[in-house]
């Protein structure tokens, strides 16, 4: 089970190799195969090729239907603004065909051309279901609601924030993606799959592309009805070896939407001393995390001050090196490391 690939072709290839994926396995992709990432068209063609010879199944995500805009007679300016602003499947198609895109581009004739050139790819994306049902599992992109499956529309299941926090329990396992696991504060800033056996819910999304510290996860369900679930993951960060040990911090704070408005109190090199406006707590935050809006307000991307437990010789993924330490990941958990790296 993989979710929210977002056009990360290389990461998907490495993930399936690490999972030892074979012709005997079932591969279920829980939506958001494309958009946002670097190689949407290449990723789409790769999984289409897999599906011709292997048991590959898909549900649609909230981003996947963007390509349906190609079939609309209107919204040309909106689609152009989107593809100019975001890596996307439509942009990849235009690049492959040598179609330049500028703020003055008329998207109507381009839509007509792309319909002709990419009938197979667009047809594949058009036919994706929103729920897959088996005797022991339900698979959807963002959530399943209590009640009859037949009554649930795509809008009910492809977009929802914080599904695990809604308190639902089910008779069979519900497996979803969409909402990065790092954003569930009760699990630290942990990108690994969250498996709640008492509630029969599994959340797979590791935040690849969506978050700075994201990773791509593959949930592995063993045959025969066993609940001994496991997973593998990959990310795109350089790997380094810790040369010092440090204990885990006693406290940790998370800043994330919608409480990510901050005030910069002072700047020192690559770091800014900021006050989170809601809590009035102060933090040193990397300058590259901050975005200043036209009205003067300032917001940070997801941030944690957690000091990660690290032992000499541990391999860590280095998310960002700063003058005040490094933000690293170890075993899927993000935090600060203040020792030397080799």
pLDDT confidence tier of residue 187, bands split at 50, 70 and 90: low
Convert the pLDDT of each residue in 119-143 to its tens digit.
999 999 998 999 999 999 999 999 9
pLDDT computed for residue 243 by the predictor: 98
Provide, rounded to the nearest whole percent, the portion of the chain with pLDDT above 70: 100
Provide, rounded to the nearest whole percent, the portion of the chain with pLDDT above 90: 94
Convert the pLDDT of each residue in 131-178 to its tens digit.
999 999 999 999 999 989 999 999 999 999 999 999 999 999 999 999
Enumerate residues 6+ apart whose C-beta is below 8 A from 336. 249, 304, 305, 306, 307, 308, 325, 326, 327, 328
Taking alpha carbons only, the member of 45, 329, 10 closest to residue 191 is: 329
| Rounded mean pLDDT, 214-239 | 95
Cα–Cα distance, 97 to 302 (Å, whole number):
37
Structural domains for the chain? 9-61+128-234 (3.60.21.10), 241-337 (no CATH)
pLDDT computed for residue 338 by the predictor: 97
Residue 186: is its pLDDT beyond 90?
A: no
pLDDT computed for residue 106 by the predictor: 96
Residue 185: is its pLDDT beyond 80?
A: no
Convert the pLDDT of each residue in 277-315 to its tens digit.
999 999 999 999 999 999 999 999 999 999 999 999 999
Residue 43: is its pLDDT beyond 90?
A: yes
According to DSSP, residue 242 is labeled B
Taking alpha carbons only, the member of 305, 214, 219 closest to residue 255 is: 305
What is the rounded average pLDDT for all residues in the chain? 96
| Rounded mean pLDDT, 223-230 | 90
């Amino acid at each position: 089970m993989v979710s929210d690939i977002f056009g990360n072709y290389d990461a998907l290839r490495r993930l399936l190799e690490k999972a030892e994926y074979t012709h005997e396995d079932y591969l279920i992709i829980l939506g958001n195969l494309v958009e946002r990432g670097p190689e949407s068209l290449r990723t789409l063609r790769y999984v289409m090729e897999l599906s011709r010879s292997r048991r590959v199944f898909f549900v649609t995500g909230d981003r996947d239907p963007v390509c349906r805009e190609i079939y609309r007679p209107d919204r040309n300016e909106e689609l152009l603004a989107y593809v100019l602003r975001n890596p996307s499947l439509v942009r990849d198609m235009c690049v492959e065909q040598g179609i330049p895109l500028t703020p003055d581009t008329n998207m109507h004739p381009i839509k007509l051309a792309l319909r002709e050139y990419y009938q197979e790819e667009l047809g594949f994306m058009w036919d994706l279901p929103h729920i897959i049902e088996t005797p022991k599992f339900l698979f959807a992109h963002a959530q399943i609601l209590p009640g009859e499956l037949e009554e649930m529309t795509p809008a009910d299941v492809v977009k929802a924030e914080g599904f695990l926090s809604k308190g639902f329990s089910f008779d069979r396992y519900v497996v979803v993606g969409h909402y990065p696991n790092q954003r569930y504060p009760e699990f630290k800033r942990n990108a690994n799959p969250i498996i709640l056996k008492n509630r029969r819910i599994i959340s797979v999304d590791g935040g690849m592309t969506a978050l700075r510290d994201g990773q791509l996860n593959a949930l592995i369900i063993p045959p025969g009805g066993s609940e001994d679930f496991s997973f593998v993951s990959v990310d795109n960060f350089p790997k380094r070896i810790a040369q010092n040990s440090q204990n885990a911090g006693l406290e940790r704070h998370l800043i994330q939407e919608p409480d990510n408005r901050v005030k910069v109190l002072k700047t020192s090199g690559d770091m800014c001393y900021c006050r989170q406006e809601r809590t009035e707590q102060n933090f040193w935050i990397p300058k590259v995390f901050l975005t200043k809006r036209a009205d003067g307000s300032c917001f940070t991307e997801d941030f944690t001050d957690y000091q990660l437990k690290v032992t000499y010789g541990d391999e860590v993924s280095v998310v960002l090196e700063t003058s005040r330490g490094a933000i690293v990941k170890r075993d899927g958990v993000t935090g600060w490391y203040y020792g030397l790296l080799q």
